[in-house]
């Protein structure tokens, strides 16, 4: 059933795809960042604080090594990962590149420019509507109730595809690092408790991709990984890597003075 749905997605995509797909440069502080690899840092809004601190370190060190962060601007895991990227920016203005995909402008008071209505990135309304349709089609493969959702909920679910596959669904993230209560790392392991992050996990573990200029392509990069920090073996592997990165880049700067940390700490009753 899943494979049939994916094939149907590819066939329909071949009929409607008129978008001139390209890799979008990220522009901030007057600096243009092109061609850098990205990782997706996502997860539950209820991510434990101890895991959140690991996420900050992961994001900081990955960004210092030259990777960019893709995330969703929500509370919990998304914010932890963003704090790490922002810390890298404080150390080196050329680091900490972010693509934060929002379901709408100003989601959670976020100032990211990566929302579909932004013509500077996603083109005219006709072009963004085509991309939006592709995103909803992809999301609908893994969520049977998508069409019954209101528009805001559909957009919230659909933007997961961009976190995994990039702004135009043609530039896969090299890794998906997350935390969900059940530790799922593929579509078969996904449950209700996995939450919205399960959409990204399903897409990342799927072998079919989107369509470029009328041709079907595979998104499943052999090097792409789903790392779920709820799995003890994954957490151990990450902590070992962080120890080595600490030797290379030094300690992570103090993040507890940052505004994002102050906002998120309120949810954990921290002073």
What distances in angstroms separate CA 228 from CA 78, 104, 128, 168, 178, one per listed residue?
Answer: 14, 27, 32, 25, 5
Which phi-psi region, left, alpha or beta, contains residue 207 (left: φ > 0; alpha: ψ -120 to 50)? alpha
Q: Is residue 61 within 8 Å of residue 32, measured between CB atoms?
A: no
Kindly indicate the confidence band of residue 206, based on its pLDDT and cuts at 50, 70 and 90: confident
Q: Taking residues 152-170, what's their average pLDDT?
A: 90
The residue among 191, 194, 193, 192 whose CA lies nearest residue 176 is: 194
User: Helix, strand, coil shares of the chain as percentages rounded to 5?
Assistant: 50, 10, 40
Q: Look up the pTM and report it.
A: 0.84
Which residue would you say has higher pLDDT here, 157 or 179? 179
Tokens of 179: 């935390």
Which residue would you say has higher pLDDT here, 238 or 149? 238
The Cβ of residue 117 has, within 10 Å, a number of other Cβ atoms equal to 12
Kindly indicate the confidence band of residue 270, based on its pLDDT and cuts at 50, 70 and 90: low
Kindly indicate the confidence band of residue 33, based on its pLDDT and cuts at 50, 70 and 90: low
CA distance 174 to 211: 19
What pLDDT does 46 receive? 93
Is the per-residue pLDDT at 15 higher than 60? no
Kindly indicate the confidence band of residue 50, based on its pLDDT and cuts at 50, 70 and 90: very high
| DSSP symbol at 192 | G
Tokens of 9: 């997605």
Which percentage of the chain shows pLDDT scores above 90? 55
Is the per-residue pLDDT at 111 higher than 50? yes
Is the per-residue pLDDT at 10 higher than 80? no
What pLDDT does 225 receive? 84
Query: Which positions ≥6 away from 262 have C-beta within 8 Å?
Result: none
Q: Taking residues 65-71, what's their average pLDDT?
A: 96
Is the per-residue pLDDT at 208 higher than 60? no
Is the per-residue pLDDT at 229 higher than 50? yes
Bridge partner list, 70:
40, 99
Which percentage of the chain shows pLDDT scores above 70? 79
Which residue would you say has higher pLDDT here, 13 or 177? 177
The chain-wide mean pLDDT, for the chain, equals 82
């Amino acid at each position: 059933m899943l494979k049939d749905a994916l094939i149907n997605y590819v066939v329909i995509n071949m009929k409607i795809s008129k978008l001139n797909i390209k890799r979008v440069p990220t522009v901030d502080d007057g600096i243009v960042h092109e061609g850098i690899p990205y990782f997706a840092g996502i997860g539950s809004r209820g991510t434990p604080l101890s895991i959140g601190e690991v996420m900050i370190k992961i994001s900081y060190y990955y960004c210092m090594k030259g990777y960019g962060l893709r995330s969703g601007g929500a509370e919990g895991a998304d914010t932890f990962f963003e704090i790490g990227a922002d810390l890298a920016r404080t150390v080196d203005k050329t680091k900490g590149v972010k693509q934060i995909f929002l379901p709408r402008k100003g989601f959670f008071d976020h100032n990211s420019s990566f929302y579909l209505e932004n013509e500077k990135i996603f083109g005219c309304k006709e072009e963004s509507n085509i991309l939006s349709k592709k995103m909803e089609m992809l999301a609908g493969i893994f969520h049977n109730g998508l069409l019954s959702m209101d528009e805001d909920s559909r957009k919230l679910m659909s933007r997961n595809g961009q976190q995994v596959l990039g702004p135009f669904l043609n530039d896969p993230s090299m890794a998906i690092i997350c935390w969900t209560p059940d530790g799922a790392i593929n579509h078969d392991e996904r449950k209700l408790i996995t939450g919205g992050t399960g959409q990204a996990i399903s897409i990342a573990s799927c072998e079919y991709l989107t369509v470029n200029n009328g041709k079907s392509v595979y998104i499943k990069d052999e090097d792409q990984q789903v790392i779920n920090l709820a799995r003890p073996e994954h957490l151990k592997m990450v902590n070992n890597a962080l120890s080595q990165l600490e030797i290379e880049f030094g300690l992570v700067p103090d993040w507890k003075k940052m505004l994002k940390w102050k906002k998120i700490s309120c949810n954990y009753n921290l002073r």
